[in-house]
Structure 1
């Protein structure tokens, strides 16, 4: 009988201890959850359409001759013709620059049937020079790039490249868009917090995403490393901001 009472007493003590442990653990979990950090992370975005304010256009011309001085003399005449053409289009001299002369030795192949082999022999020199125009007068330079055929009609072979377009106030634009993207992230976080019956707290951390420029209304792919379009006069810039806010 005493043994049964002792066993009952031990079982009762163990049960009370177990209940107490469960209550303590539950209280600890509630305290952990109440003290745990509650945050929300959102991504804000800003886009801006803008027009380039700088154009860079280049064209190359070449002279060939078996004699190097003759090739250089011919190239000089072509350069003078190009300068006269640009001056006639009212292009300021400070907008025009010429590269150094590139010289290459040209070879031609011939087949010797007596030994049934192909050989190469010196053909002459090929000299190339590039003229580059940099200007804020985009319309004027675009017109000149289309009128380059006037030189071709005069017997001057010239290879025109496509104009490249830039924006000189890009840093200012980037700062403005960074502010807009941050505001967008804050607004998004506020909407989510309100929807979950919470209130938005302070900013915990923020990171700037990729800044990209593509052609307006183009099908260019966005890149994780960022893209920088130079072929379109009208462009679209975009930037993202990842922000984490506390909620309460």
Structure 2
């Protein structure tokens, strides 16, 4: 009888231990059930800085004209600066380079010198936050070009430099959008979304509106970030 009683106790103990092991395995399985979703946040922004470069040159085939060329170059430079200031730019926004001399030789197939050119040129660079002003200022350069002045009017580069100001709100929005996506998945599956297990922040990408790659051609731009978030799922 004693042996029978001991056998019953052992059987109960084994059954109980089996139950607790089963519960532990079940709870562990629930705990690692997760859903990974992506959250997108996008903002339309406006460039807040523009870099623009002008280049002008004067040239002659006679080296004896160098003195006059320097005088002409200085006069052209003065005219450009005056026009820039009259258009609304400030002196501190204009960086004037140094007039440089470049001799150019033209040779035939036998490397015999057939002609030469003596050229003076200079760069003028503008950096300003007046992004809306540059378009009209660029157009004003046509007045000097119409006078026969050789000016290269390069495309301006529009930049958005205030990304850090909008990062926190965009990351918050991306996280909220990720949770919305997770809730939709969980609702269809008859479960609930719990806390965040892990999160990976994607890179912030700036693109010109209507462009796939460029980020400096236009004043209007889009900023976007995609986050990958893993949520715990519960019953």
Question: CA-atom RMSD, angstroms?
Answer: 2.7
- Please report how far the alpha carbon of residue 40 of structure 1 lies from its aligned counterpart in structure 2 after TM superposition: 0.8
Q: Residues of 2 paired with 1:126 and 1:44: CA distance?
A: 57
User: Match for residue 13 of structure 2?
Assistant: none
- Residue 124 of structure 1 and its aligned partner are, at CA, apart by 3.9
Residue number among 202, 216, 227 corresponding to 1:230 in the alignment:
216
Identify unmatched segments of 5+ residues in structure 1.
1-23, 112-116, 222-226
- State the TM-score, normalized to the length of structure 2: 0.78
Report how far residue 98 of structure 1 moved.
1.6
Between the aligned partners of 1:55 and 1:145, the Cα distance in structure 2 is: 12
Is the 1:212–1:228 contact (alpha carbons within 8 Å) kept by the matching residues of 2?
Answer: no
Question: Unaligned 5+ residue runs, structure 2?
Answer: 1-17
Residue 94, structure 1, aligned to residue 89, structure 2:
no
Q: What is the match of residue 122 of structure 2?
A: 129
Find the counterpart in structure 2 of residue 152 from structure 1. 145
Q: 2-side partners of 1:215 and 1:207: how far apart?
A: 25
Partner of 1:78: 76
Work out the CA distance in 2 between the residues paired with 1:90 and 1:53. Answer: 17
Corresponding residue pairs, total: 213
- Mapped partners of 2:25, 2:105: distance in 1: 82
Deviation at 1:44, TM superposition (A): 0.3
**3-state DSSP of counterpart to 1:91:** coil
**What corresponds to 1:109 in structure 2?**
107
Shift in alpha-carbon separation, 1:29–1:106, aligned structure 2, 3 A: farther
1:138 match: secondary structure: coil
Indicate the SS of the match to 2:52. strand
